[in-house]
Amino acid sequence: MARRSSRVTGNAVAHAGARNNKSNVRGSAAVVGALEGRLIQCTGTWSDWLPIDIKPGQFWAKGTLTNGQCFGWRHQPGIQEDDQFTGVLCDQVLQIRQSDPMSMALYRVAIPHHNNDQGQVSKSRTRLHHFLRSDADLSAHYKQWASSDLQFSAFPEHFAGIRLLQQDPVECLFSFICSSNNHITRITSILNKLRDRFGVDIMVVDGVVYKQFPTIASLAASSEEELKSLGLGYRARYIHQTAIALSNRPDNFLHDFHQRSQVEIQTELCQLMGIGRKVADCISLFSMNQLQVVPVDTHVLQIALKHYRDRIGSITKSQTLTPKVYNQISTGFVSVFGELAGWAHSILFTADLPQFRDHLSPKKLDTNLETGTAAEFNKTDVKPETNEVKCNTEQLDIKLRVNLKCESDGIKRKIPLDSVLSDLKRPTRARRCL
């Protein structure tokens, strides 16, 4: 993720040049700026906006880039309220823009002043298509899921555009080590600090320094104390020791995992410090092409208990996530969704995140909303004879029929309306990232 730093100035360039004896710096081909105590020897400008060339409806940028499967894309306001995101793929800086979830997304790449424009654009397109798995047409699978599963049939059509990313395994591995007992916002903050401290500078665009994700070697050369100073806490030891272990393996050790089986990958990853089965499954799913893998934590357990109880066996809410329970839930998802169970599970997880609640139709809220959207309630009228509630919203009227039962003792009870509406609006924070 990009971090905003001080802008390049003429005085900074002159001072940096004198201090480092960079007398041969000329023109825009090698602009040198002193930022954060280091020299940035490259600046760039954006290319024109170009179509990503994924069919409309099959790529929803916000649903894909902010649902907790990756943490390196910064969401920023765009022109005319478009969703716009800035991120780094390898050594290139890209932006993605989308006017609405069902529209064709656009992208552009930052071009170094000294480089060939067309070469950079061509390379960025290839990388972006790989990252987004652009060759995967999910429409047939999604229709099958929607026809056989009530959850998917209730989702808005643009949820079919939540794509499963194909990430760099090094960045993915260290990102999910940081996810332990953490939530998306804090994970993103920690990874920003790691990138700032240890990442290699790429270029300055619009006064912002963009950096690559740290290499294994740079993290291995750090110290636990330095990592703790970035807010990693007990995870600092995991990051440092795992980086040291990987630095003693062949250069393409993690990249070659694509050729291995799920069992082999899981066994190898779980030997590294800070990686248990759930983290190993996240890494496998998001960076090692194991699309059938379903990472399970307590949040996913609740989704399974709520919607797929008939597929997971005799599991109760009070049970801990033992290996047996983990296997039951993972196997249950595969029995429903098949070889792309991990992709389907990622869509279900996204739908349960608070930030996507307003995208869901009313029937996805845990009451019987007959029509309309999950807009904010501002007025309520009750008809006592039918127990019908009419909720006026800015967009349209929503009818809510309250007929709730207390199943524990078999006695029908009417729940106070204020309690029902409060539950609808109360946000829940998913502590897992997937």
Active site residues: 278
- Matching residue, tokens 């070889």: 339
For the chain, give the number of residues.
434
Q: Do residues 87 and 65 lie in contact, with contact meaning Cβ atoms separated by under 8 Å? A: yes
Confirm if 362 and 346 have CB atoms less than 8 A apart: no
Selection from 321, 328, 306 nearest residue 151 by Cα: 306
Sheet holding 379-383, edge to edge: 368-369, 397-401, 388-392, 379-383
Q: How far apart are CA 365 and CA 388, in angstroms?
A: 17
Tokens of 382: 């009750």
List the one residue out of 253, 228, 223, 268 whose CA is nearest residue 241.
223
Own/partner long-range contacts of 90-97 (Cβ < 8 Å, ≥24 apart) = 90/127, 90/168, 90/212, 91/202, 91/212, 92/120, 92/123, 92/124, 92/127, 92/202, 93/2, 93/44, 93/202, 93/203, 93/205, 93/210, 94/124, 94/128, 95/46, 96/52, 96/61, 96/65, 97/49, 97/61
User: For residues 356 and 161, what is the distance between their CA atoms, to the nearest angstrom?
Assistant: 14
Which contacts (CB < 8 Å, 24+ apart) does range 10-15 have? none
